[in-house]
Structure 1
């Protein structure tokens, strides 16, 4: 269970994804974009009054998690539309190639289960202590960021 973020109200957060976007732009050509996950949350923790508290860390990582989740969902929707169109095209040609859209859906469903299990395991390592919330929130943020970047790369390579 995540701690309440009441100590750091949403309107008090100093959060922006600009640092993450700049990091991705700088490291994208080298393929090191995963290092950019958490950059904006860390800046938020530094710049927000109370950002280093448990509630502040959870709130800042939650803000970045939400941004990554939006990016993941947008990339997934676009990729699914492309995959469905390609599956139809291949079926119209009489191809026996495996369908890509069900494979994408299967991957997404299994990723959600894996993410939840992994982050729950990470949280269990804290024995219910105050670090549990930030650890679980950070895990969700990192894993969501990684999948968002992967799906965005799949779209770029399409």
Structure 2
């Protein structure tokens, strides 16, 4: 085995250990919103804090980890809001049906909108990755895009709940 191949093998084995040492907390994002921050300021705040607080936080592996953890945070918020909103819309659809009101199903429209949004998000973030021309920054850029798009959609769905 050549020295180069051996080095790559070592790095491949070391990467998971590095990722295991990283920590993430959604505190910075939550504190930003609690202080009245705007979405554009608060989305990504915890990922940035993660990169600053972890040794080697601006490595490709660490950036990917930090963006991924905040993406998971926003994905959980999105799924919670979507589930509640879907139930709310289904109840309104049932009420309308009981009253004999003939209107399109808002629960179906919500589902269709969400499916279309997922396809849009994925294509948009694929495009973002393509801008890196195969460079190592493409991975973190793609995950940062997924995080940001998911956060915006989660906030939109939460807004649709109207204070519930």
Question: Taking structure 1 as the reference length, what is the TM-score of the superposition?
Answer: 0.90
Match of 1:46? 52
Residues in 2 aligned to 1:112 and 1:7: alpha-carbon distance in whole angstroms: 32
For residue 27 of structure 1, give the secondary structure of its aligned residue in structure 2.
Answer: coil
Following TM superposition, by how much is the alpha carbon of 1:99 offset from its aligned partner in structure 2, in angstroms? 1.2
> In structure 2, the residue corresponding to 1:146 is in which secondary structure?
helix
Match of 2:27 among 18, 22, 27: 18
Residue 6 of structure 1 aligns to a residue whose secondary structure is helix
Which has the higher Rg, Structure 1 or Structure 2? 2
Q: Is the 8 A contact 1:13 1:48 kept in 2?
A: yes
**Structure 2 CA distance for aligned equivalents of residues 48 and 138 of structure 1:** 17
Bigger RCO (CA 8 Å, 6+ sep): 1
Q: What residue is the counterpart of 1:27 in the other structure?
A: 36
Deviation at 1:26, TM superposition (A): 1.8
The correspondence for 1:56, drawn from 62, 82, 89, is: 62
Q: For residue 77 of structure 1, what is the aligned residue in structure 2? A: 83
**Which residue number corresponds to residue 126 of structure 1?**
132
Task: State how many pairs are aligned.
Answer: 151
Contact 2:64 2:139 in 1 (8 A): yes
Mean CA deviation greater in 12-21 or 61-70:
12-21
Contact 1:27 1:33 in 2 (8 A): no
CA distance in 2 between counterparts of 1:104 and 1:70 reads 18
Q: TM-score, normalised by structure 2?
A: 0.86
Q: Which runs of 4+ in 1 moved over 4 A?
A: none
In structure 2, what is the equivalent of residue 111 of structure 1?
117
Deviations 1:69-103 (A, max 9, x none): 00100110000000000100011101112211001
Can you give the 5+ residue segments of structure 2 that lack an aligned partner in the other structure? Answer: 1-11
1:6 aligned onto 2:16: yes
Contact 1:45 1:56 in 2 (8 A): yes
